[in-house]
């Protein structure tokens, strides 16, 4: 079976580098599945989980990222990316509640947008952990 080298890189250092058979992720324009031999591609990712399939499947919660595909290599560049066991579930839940409170309070627009992003990130993290 053909494989892909996948590396997930953040400003704080590489998070993951391994070979997988398939990458499945959510780009801003919709779900994307990448198999070995894909044409070179660049796409921004939404705040979502990246699922890496193969003998040792892996998931990662990604925010502020994009995807670069080469025929045998996939690089995911993200402002933050975590593996399920790195996620602090308590903290994510607290962040979710905080963001929800802020959204209820309906302050000015910038705060609103920021809270919305925070909520998305928190939900994404919780989802990645609980998917197990």
Partner 1 sequence: MASLRDIKTRITSTQKTKQITKAMHMVSAAKLSKAEEFAKSFDPYSNKIKEVVASIAGSGQDAEHPMLQSREVKKTAYFVITSDRGLAGAFNSGVLREVYRTIQNRHKSQDEYTVIAVGRMGRDFFKKRGIPVLKEITGLSDQPNFSDIKELTAETVDLFIDGEIDELVIFYNHFVSAISQQVTSNKLLPLTDLSENTSGNSSMYEYEPNQQEILNVLLPQYAESLIFGALLDSKASEHAARMTAMKNATDNADELIGDLSLQYNRARQAAITQEITEIVSGAAALE
- Chain residues in the site for partner 1 (CB under 8 A): 7, 9-14, 27-29, 32, 39-44, 64, 66, 68, 75, 77, 79-80
Token pair listed for 67: 């995807």
The SS3 assignment for 11 reads coil
Structural tokens at position 124: 């994404």
Structure tokens at 96: 């979710």
Nearer to partner 1, 21 or 68 (CB): 68
Q: Name the minimum Å distance from CB 55 to partner 1.
A: 25
Considering beta carbons, is residue 111 or 131 the nearer one to partner 1? 111
Neighbour count for residue 99 (Cβ, 10 Å) = 20
DSSP code, position 54: S
Of 31 and 130, the one with the shorter C-beta distance to partner 1 is: 31
CB of 72 to partner 1, least distance (A): 14
Residue (70 or 131) nearer to partner 1, CB: 70
Distance CA 129, CA 29 (A): 24
């Amino acid at each position: 079976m053909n494989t892909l080298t996948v590396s997930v890189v953040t400003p704080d250092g590489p998070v993951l580098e391994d070979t997988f058979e398939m990458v499945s992720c959510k780009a801003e324009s919709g779900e994307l599945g990448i198999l070995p031999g894909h044409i070179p591609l660049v796409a921004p990712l939404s705040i979502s989980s990246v699922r890496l399939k193969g003998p040792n499947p892996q998931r990662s919660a990604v925010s502020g990222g994009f995807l670069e595909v080469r025929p045998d290599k996939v690089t995911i560049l993200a402002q933050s990316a975590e593996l399920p066991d790195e996620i602090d579930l308590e903290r994510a839940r607290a962040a979710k509640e905080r963001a929800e409170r802020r959204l209820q309070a309906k302050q000015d627009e910038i705060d609103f947008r920021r809270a919305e992003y925070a909520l998305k990130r928190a939900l994404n993290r919780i989802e990645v952990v609980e998917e197990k």
